[in-house]
Amino acid sequence: MPLFRTPHFFRWIFPKRMWGFSWPEKTVYLTFDDGPTPVASEWVLDFLRNKNAIATFFCLGENVSKHPELFERMKAEGHAVGNHCYHHEHGLKVPKLDYLASIEKADKFIQSKLFRPPYGRMPLSYDRLLKKYTVVMWSWMAYDFDDQVSIEQILQSAKSIRNGDILVFHDNQKSFERLKIILPQVIEMLRDKGFTFEVITSRKDRQLRLTDRT
């Protein structure tokens, strides 16, 4: 059975990473990994614009270098962007220096304070090495990339989404056909429940915003 909701004890093991938010408002955070890619990212951007929704895109440096116009469109339309490495390296399977070099190479194109490790896997010790980033994880996974998980299972699990959740989808070619089915139904379900959507900002920027509220 897939773990749609991230187990709470992960937050204890990796306390410096961002897993979700404790807001009283009915707000959730849409995120998309692996773009920008032609067709898939274009469709997502068109869909979000039509639904008046905003999201955070964790981009691969390689894809940004190939499709800068899509990357610029993400920012121009009010979405946030984050670093997702240059080649989608697995943090537990490549040497530390190679992994850090991939992040820095991607940063030249993306220039964001947000970072999400591909596959959600990265040694705990790296958190201290990435002080300039807010490492963003998630609290609910859509499994749009895994055709072994039925769409019915995914939509049933989406009923468990709650205030402050960070949701993960993928704007890559592998996930695209399933994403076109899953995303509209999840968005409709959340809107019917009164949820709104916000972008993710770094901890430093969020502290400034909270100060402005007081």
pLDDT in tens, 1-51: 688 999 999 999 999 999 999 877 899 999 999 999 999 999 999 999 999
Residue 158 makes CB contacts below 8 A (sequence gap 6+) with 140, 142, 185, 186, 189, 190
pLDDT for 204 equals: 59
| Residue 192 burial class via C-beta count within 10 angstroms: exposed 0-12, middle 13-18, buried 19 and up | exposed
User: Residue 5's beta-bridge partner residues?
Assistant: 140
> What is 27-213's CATH topology?
TIM Barrel (3.20.20)
Residue 205: pLDDT band with limits 50, 70, 90: low
Please report, for the chain, the start and end positions of each structural domain, with discontinuous segments joined by +.
27-213
For residue 150, pLDDT beyond 70: yes
Q: Hunting for tokens 């059975």 — which residue is that?
A: 1
The mean of the pLDDT values for the chain is 94
For residue 214, pLDDT beyond 50: no
| Residue 173 burial class via C-beta count within 10 angstroms: exposed 0-12, middle 13-18, buried 19 and up | middle
Q: What are the start-end ranges of the E strands in the chain?
A: 27-33, 56-59, 80-83, 114-115, 134-135, 140-141, 166-170, 196-197
pLDDT for 210 equals: 39
Q: Are 115 and 56 in contact (CB under 8 A)?
A: no
Q: How far apart are CA 200 and CA 89, in angstroms?
A: 23
Q: Are 206 and 192 in contact (CB under 8 A)?
A: no
Q: Are 172 and 198 in contact (CB under 8 A)?
A: no
Q: pLDDT (tens digit, 9 = 90+) per residue, 91-119?
A: 999 999 999 999 999 999 999 999 999 99
| Residue 155 burial class via C-beta count within 10 angstroms: exposed 0-12, middle 13-18, buried 19 and up | middle
